[in-house]
Structure 1
Amino acid sequence: MTAGQTAPSTELWAGPPPLAVVLNRRAGLGRAERAWPRLQAELKARKLEFRLIESAGPAEALAAVQALPAGWAVAAVGGDGTAAAVLPAVIEQRRPLLLLPLGTGNDFAGFLGLKTGQYRAALDGLNQPPRAADALRIRYGAAGQAAGEAYSLNGVGMGFDAQLTANLPLAPAWTQGTLRYLWAALATLQQLTLHPCLAELDGQPLASGLTLLCSVMNASSVGGGFQFSPHSDVFDGQLNLLVAGEIQRRQIPALIAQVRAGRHLGHPAVRYAAGRVAELHWQHPVQLHVDGDLKGAHSWLRAEVLPGAVRLLNHPHPG
């Protein structure tokens, strides 16, 4: 099933539930804040019951959603990070999730065919029952550390792309979107050190040796449209594991361009497959990101797909 198809649903739908609107005013370099008056007017025009949740950070947003009465849905106003912040409550409390794409990357919304700023089209999803979409459950750690846990809608990365994420805040203010990602990629390239890694899928080795990066993907893209996993489908009950092994520094810019277009899977250094459980074992700790949120340096990771764990209110839109 592709993003252009609607997953079957047997859930009875009595109409839009009350919405907890989680607003990340900083998302999209202030785009969400600027759009809020228009979005608020649209919510009122549709006669939707809603409550605004603003917080100083992801932990506060999650706590506010967890304290909501039963039956409330969550509308994440921002990008992938805004949705990721409330994902534990969405999954564990079975709250329907609506994405209103006003962030910088909006990769998950883009997978569904929604362009940045299309909050009216997104709100149309409230007229239909939610669809069961997959998520990832992540455990990670390093020697001598307690294991960390997280959920992911989009995907996780270790190595080059996580280090790149760490460099994004250092990019000049005049860089935006893809240009900002490319600036950070070049900065990361100058710091590059490859480390050995064993990547396993469903208990079987997929790749081993010096490794540039490993990505475990639920959706298809990260970084505002870089197609790390062009065959991903969040309705198929599988995750996709991508490993880029040893590669010369001068070859990496060309590989990045191929990733942008989703044409990298034939590269001799790339291994790619679908399964249910992915495990990564690094000889040295490397940077980890979960849906763009940095988790520090770790030496192991286990990711498993949770089929149908998210009751998604967004429905596909062409283009």
Structure 2
Amino acid sequence: MLNPAAGHGRASREWPQVEALLRASGTSFSLIRESTRERALARLRALPPGPVVAVGGDGTAGALLPALAAGQRPLALVPLGTGNDFAGWLGLHGLGCLPDLLAGRAQARRLDLLRVQWQGPQGSGERLLMNGLGMGFDAQLTAALPRAPGWLPGQARYLWAALGTLAQMRLHQGAVRVDGQVLSSGPTCLCAVMNGTRYGGGFLISPESDPADGRLNVVVGQSLSRARLPAMMLKVAQGRHLAAAQVVHATGQTAAVTWQEPAWLHLDGDVVGEVTSLQAEVLPGALTLLGPARSG
């Protein structure tokens, strides 16, 4: 699967190198390059069983998850997107594990996925996630990312968008529950439900996450003022925010979020709009991910 727009065109520019490796190895492959998630999924489901290589960012792989869940097909990442947060947690960059895959050295591991359902003014939806989601200020600034200068790297783009969005920040009245127990109730500036550890090109929003532990992690920023948010973001960049008084977090199998007024939502970095409620559950070991051969 190739997303030519990933990484501001980086995936398209580097595709010839990926294709050359595939052809030099004598590997037979089918290129999926569709304009919509639905068409990409239909193409993939029509193919015979075999590994799937996602050339792009986290969203490129995320679009294919319904055909990959429950170990139906193993996934390999070639992280050529903007943030590459899930791949970054795995220590992958550039061509990812493609050389190991073509040489028969790639190792498979089972990782969790998240199933998310949401409701909002524009309707409802459901999606599988590999990395995680953010609501509130986090999703607002994600929506601003396309306006950031193309030469900025992932984390710098996130900071640029955050500063531009700061004046629009507002607290949302709502409730967050983990496994049915109230984690937070009242004014909230953002809420993240994570399988992976980071988003925004390297911000460690959930440093305690383990995508193979059968649990999801929830991080909530409570009544945080505009003046204090930049300092908190620096702590998030280093994964030092969980001890802050304005932050609460928990881990479990399910999470539920309700808002009195609609709040913005992003799923694996893909902004879907404003929602009023959301439910998430972890799917243990639902994804077979191919990685580089481990030393030792």
Q: 2:210 aligns with which of 229, 233, 243?
A: 233
Q: Could you say if the C-alpha distance between residues 301 and 33 of structure 1 is closer, same or farther in structure 2, counting changes exceeding 3 Å?
A: same
Change (3 A) 1:150 1:309: same
Mapped to 1, the partners of 2:294 and 2:176 lie a distance apart of 35
Distance 1:122 1:290, change over 3 A: farther
Match of 1:91 among 69, 82, 102: 69
Q: Could you tell me which amino acid in structure 2 is paired with residue 295 of structure 1?
A: V
The 2-side partners of 1:122 and 1:85 are apart by 24
The amino acid of 2:46's aligned partner reads A
In structure 2, the residue matched to 1:130 is: 108
CA deviation profile, 1:65-120 (whole Å, cap 9, x unmatched): 12222x12211001101011111111167111111111111111111111244454
1:129 CA drift (Å): 5.2
Paired amino acid for 1:149: E
Q: Distance in 1 between matches of 2:102 and 2:274?
A: 41
Q: 1:101 touches 1:119 (CA, 8 Å); kept in 2? A: no
Q: Name 2:13's counterpart in structure 1.
A: 34
Report the counterpart of residue 144 of structure 2 in structure 1. Answer: 167
Distance 1:184 1:122, change over 3 A: farther
Q: Deviations over 1:140-172 (max 9, x none)?
A: 0026x6431001000011101111111112223
Q: Once superposed, what is the RMSD of the aligned Cα atoms?
A: 1.9
Q: Percent identity?
A: 49
* Runs of 4+ with >4 A deviation: 119-122, 315-318
Query: Quick one: distance in 2 between partners of 1:181 and 1:122?
Result: 32
Find 1:142's aligned residue among 92, 100, 120: 120
Q: Are 1:78 and 2:24 counterparts?
A: no
The answer on 1:302 being equivalent to 2:289 is no
Alignment partner of 1:179 is 2:160: no
Q: Does 1:47 align with 2:47?
A: no
Q: Residues of 2 paired with 1:263 and 1:125: CA distance? A: 40
Query: Is structure 2 residue 47 aligned with structure 1 residue 68?
Result: yes
Q: CA deviation at 1:317?
A: 6.4
Whole-Å separation in 1 of the counterparts to 2:192 and 2:78: 25
- Quick one: which of 237, 242, 265 aligns to 2:219? 242
**SS of the residue aligned with 1:110?**
helix
Report the equivalent of 2:288. 311
Of 129, 140, 165, 1:188 maps to 165
CA contact under 8 A between 2:78 and 2:93: conserved in structure 1? no
Aligned partner of 2:82 in structure 1 is 104
Taking a change above 3 Å as real, the CA distance of residues 83 and 126 of structure 1, as seen in their structure-2 partners, is: farther
- The 8 Å contact of residues 112 and 317 in structure 1, kept in 2 or not, is answered as no
What is the alpha-carbon distance in structure 2 between the residues aligned to residue 258 and residue 63 of structure 1? 42
Q: Contact 1:163–1:287 (CA<8 Å) still a contact in 2?
A: yes
Note if contact 1:139-1:147 (Cα within 8 Å) is conserved in structure 2.
yes
Deviation string 1:263-294 (CA, Å, 9 cap, x unpaired) is 11111010111110011011111111110111
The code of the aligned residue for 2:146 comes to P
Q: Does the 8 A contact of 1:125 with 1:315 survive in 2?
A: no
The question of whether the paired residues in 2 share the 8 Å contact of 1:125 and 1:313 is answered with no
In 2, Cα distance between equivalents of 1:175 and 1:148: 32
Aligned residue pair count = 295
State TM-score, norm by structure 1: 0.87
Q: CA 1:116–1:129 in structure 2 vs 1: closer, same or farther (change >3 Å)?
A: closer
**How far apart, CA to CA, are the structure 1 residues paired with 2:171 and 2:79?**
35
Unaligned runs of 5+ residues in structure 1 are 1-21
SS of structure 2 residue aligned to 1:28: helix
State yes or no: 1:285 paired with 2:238: no
CA contact (8 A) 2:85 2:201 kept: yes
Q: What SS is found at the alignment partner of 1:235?
A: coil
| Alignment partner, residue 7 of structure 1 | none
**Do residues 56 (structure 1) and 9 (structure 2) align?**
no
Cα distance in structure 2, aligned partners of 1:181 and 1:314:
27
Instruction: Pick from 211, 220, 241 the counterpart of residue 264 of structure 1.
Output: 241
Q: Which runs of 5+ in 2 are unaligned?
A: none
Moved more, 298-307 or 51-60: 51-60
